[in-house]
Amino acid sequence: MRATAGLAVATALLAAACQRPAPSPSPSAPPSATPTGPRAPADFVDLSTVDPTVRTDIRYAGSHNFVGRPIDGYAEPRCLLTRPAAQALHRVQTAALAGGHSLKVYDCYRPQRAADDFVSWAKLPGEQLMKGEFYPAVPKDRLFADGYIGAPTAHSRGSTVDLTLVPVSGPPQAGYTPGQPLVPCTDPAGRRFADDSIDMGTGFDCFDPRAHTADARISDTARNNRDLLRRLMSAQGFENYPLEWWHYRYVDEPYPDTWFDFPVAGSSLR
């Protein structure tokens, strides 16, 4: 009788455990993000293996960005993309080289943890190390509300890239030394940071309306350069984000509803 009662109790406890709801997802993860492991899907590649001629300046792997330090998730300065996006970018590069220019990428796949890092930083009013260059006219407490920072981001789906055009025969990229004097990203090309980009009207990641692709205040030269980049990218299936002249998404992206979080590193690739 005692053994039978014990068996009944054990059976009831097992049934209750099976009916217990699954734990809720971490509150730090965006509602639309898909949990992923530390490795990328098999169709992610390093852009350099598809087209080694595309130049790179992966800003979030270093200190020359609007935060002023390496961003969480950028273990290495690599451009990781889905293979379809990388192959399309190779076709853009072929056309750009024929016209005397090369693509230069600033950012490609971005882990969800990096977007979370941006949001956390935006909530810290005292950290404004790079304001003088990247958001000289915008109060930091407006960066999130005005749409300059947000999460999740299309970059985390692996088919979006930030990039510019550089002359094939131009001077090399200037180095950045942490702590050097900052110049507003809206200043003329001869005064702002000496990026080797052709003049696009502002620097990269410039949190200012002048960075909007169709802003009327930029020079004719900058407008023509933005139009050139847009034509080259559009011809191979990329779509510009109108608030950032440098931001392009591959329209036929293979993961339109998946946000990944593996780190930017060679070890993430299969």
For the stretch 65-85, pLDDT in tens is 999 999 999 999 999 999 999
Residue with tokens 């034509």: 231
Average pLDDT over every residue of 138-154: 90
- With respect to residue 34, please indicate whether it lies within any of the assigned structural domains: no
Express as a percent the part of the chain with pLDDT over 70. Answer: 86
Across the beta sheet with 160-167, what order do the strands follow? Answer: 55-56, 101-107, 160-167, 247-250, 238-240
- With respect to residue 33, please indicate whether it lies within any of the assigned structural domains: no
**pLDDT grade for 171, boundaries at 50, 70 and 90:** confident
**pLDDT grade for 174, boundaries at 50, 70 and 90:** confident
Into how many domains does the chain fold?
1
Q: Answer yes or no: is pLDDT of 27 > 50.
A: no
Residue 73's region, left for phi above 0, alpha for psi from -120 to 50, else beta, is left
Q: Answer yes or no: is pLDDT of 5 > 60.
A: no
- With respect to residue 94, please indicate whether it lies within any of the assigned structural domains: yes
- With respect to residue 15, please indicate whether it lies within any of the assigned structural domains: no
- With respect to residue 102, please indicate whether it lies within any of the assigned structural domains: yes
- With respect to residue 35, please indicate whether it lies within any of the assigned structural domains: no
* Higher local confidence (pLDDT), 27 or 260: 260
Q: Which of 76, 127, 133, 244 is catalytic?
A: 244
> At 132, which CATH number?
3.30.1380.10
Identify the domain containing residue 227 by its residue range: 42-264
Spatial neighbors of 179 by CB under 8 A, at least 6 apart, are none
- With respect to residue 25, please indicate whether it lies within any of the assigned structural domains: no
| Cβ-contact 252, 208 below 8 angstroms | no
HSE of 270 in the Cβ direction (CA atoms, 13 Å)? 10
Express as a percent the part of the chain with pLDDT over 90. Answer: 79
Residue with tokens 């510009």: 240
Looking at this protein, which amino acid is placed at residue 1? Answer: M
194: how many CB neighbours lie within 10 A of its CB?
A: 15
Cα–Cα distance for residue pair 270/268, rounded to 1 Å: 7
- With respect to residue 226, please indicate whether it lies within any of the assigned structural domains: yes
- Any catalytic annotation for residue 244? yes
Looking at this protein, which amino acid is placed at residue 256? Answer: P
Question: Quick one: tokens of 112?
Answer: 């969800």
Burial zone of 35 (CB within 10 Å; 0-12 exposed, 13-18 middle, 19+ buried): exposed
pLDDT at 6: 39
